[in-house]
Structure 1
Amino acid sequence: MARFIVLLRGINVGGHRKVPMAELRALGEGLGFTDVASYIQSGNLVLTAPGPAAAVEASLAQAIARRFGFEVDVLARTPAQWTGYMKDNPLRAAADAEPQRVMLVLAKAPPRADAVEALRARATTERLEASKGALWVHYPEGAGVSKLSPALWERCVGSPVTARNWSTVLKLAAMVEA
């Protein structure tokens, strides 16, 4: 059995693709996961499960499709991976100053080598960096006004992505250690 931080992409945004967290936790428990906890409504879980991350991702994605009737990209990371992302955050000063405006962006598959440069070419005020399989972005004016749309991120990165702000990154780290 291993601990995982699990992120769901694109649920409960603007009233679409609704997945109540109590039902998501129950779904995970029904799959045999233990110590299942959620954080806020955007699809963040911490849980214990047998097998590798890929098995957790696949089983949860299939269960969500059966239960809710739509596909959701699921990403699972180990506590060691999560700690590594935090330690290697190249935007740490900005994250400490504006934790809601610095995002950890994780991709379903390894990001393309030119992803950051492709995104930088379209950025206006955003600062983008890559570090050890993760992408980081600082939105000094807020993500809501950025021209870096989710579709653009995915085209540049080469696979589905999901992002969490620094505050959420820290909270999930604390949850997985508890």
Structure 2
Amino acid sequence: MTTTYAALLRGINVGGAKKVPMAELRALIEGLGHSGVRTHLQSGQAVFTTDRADEDALAGELSRAVEAGFGFPVDVIVRDHAYLADVVAACPFPAADLEPKQLHVTYFSAPVTPDRFATIDQQAVLPEEFRLGDRVLYLYAPDGLGRSKLAEQLAKPRVNKGIVATTRNWNTVTKLVDLTAP
């Protein structure tokens, strides 16, 4: 049985660093034996189909291939359509009532618990808020991510220690559901 996955590459093509041309990324993924390879935007989303089912193994394989092919390490998270659709369905914020720039999802490589975020004073950053889900964090930032004081705190190494985390805006979150649909 084949499954369609989204690969989320962390920190590529941002501010001129870690340049990965999408055509070359597609070729690299096809070279790993995957099919139906597509990319979305220039910021590190690829969709592919494979008969392999281990998301962590797929992420590790892709990460190693990117480093070998482009000369720098890139963290990768791989998730299937069902998971991505569940993330959208479980959103604790009224996504339909918000501008996409106000809502973001941070995907984690492993489950996280509230104690990881215990040092964040949530009252001090209101009206910004975050909520945890299944290996994700939902971030409501009414003024956008670029001005978010909460996003700054969430990105600190002490919060993300020992785990891969990569954030996408709501438009990208929902587009990945569409792109991975069977």
Say whether the fold is shared (TM-score over 0.5): yes
Q: Is the 8 A contact 1:5 1:76 kept in 2?
A: yes
| Number of residues of Structure 1 aligned to a counterpart in Structure 2 | 177
Aligned to 1:155: 158
Structure 1 position 43 matched with structure 2 position 44: yes
Measure the CA separation in 2 of the matches of 1:151 and 1:132. Answer: 17
The more displaced of 95-104 and 44-53 is 95-104
Measure the CA separation in 2 of the matches of 1:150 and 1:21. Answer: 31
Aligned to 2:171: 167
- What is the letter of the counterpart of residue 143 of structure 1? L
User: What SS does the corresponding residue of 1:10 show, helix, strand or coil?
Assistant: coil
Aligned to 1:145: 147
Q: Is the 8 A contact 2:109 2:135 kept in 1?
A: no
TM-superposed deviation, 1:27: 0.3
Aligned to 2:128: 126
TM-superposed deviation, 1:150: 7.7
Which one of the candidate residues 62, 73, 90 is aligned to 1:88?
A: 90
Once the two structures are aligned, what percentage of the paired residues are identical?
37
Aligned to 2:69: 67
Deviations 1:23-72 (A, max 9, x none): 00000000001000000001101111232111210111011000111111
- What is the letter of the counterpart of residue 46 of structure 2? L
TM-superposed deviation, 1:109: 2.2
Measure the CA separation in 2 of the matches of 1:10 and 1:125. Answer: 27
User: What SS does the corresponding residue of 1:118 show, helix, strand or coil?
Assistant: coil
Measure the CA separation in 2 of the matches of 1:151 and 1:103. Answer: 12
Measure the CA separation in 2 of the matches of 1:124 and 1:176. Answer: 34
Shift of the 145–7 alpha-carbon distance from structure 1 to 2, 3 Å rule, reads same
Measure the CA separation in 2 of the matches of 1:78 and 1:36. Answer: 14
User: CA RMSD for the aligned pairs?
Assistant: 2.0
Task: In structure 2, list runs of 5 or more residues that go unmatched.
Answer: none
Q: Is the 8 A contact 2:10 2:74 kept in 1?
A: yes
Shift of the 133–173 alpha-carbon distance from structure 1 to 2, 3 Å rule, reads same
TM-superposed deviation, 1:151: 7.3
Measure the CA separation in 2 of the matches of 1:71 and 1:22. Answer: 19
TM-superposed deviation, 1:126: 1.8
The more displaced of 142-151 and 163-172 is 142-151
Task: In structure 1, list runs of 5 or more residues that go unmatched.
Answer: none
Q: Is the 8 A contact 1:104 1:165 kept in 2?
A: yes
- What is the letter of the counterpart of residue 169 of structure 1? V
Aligned to 1:111: 112
Shift of the 16–127 alpha-carbon distance from structure 1 to 2, 3 Å rule, reads same
User: What SS does the corresponding residue of 2:100 show, helix, strand or coil?
Assistant: coil
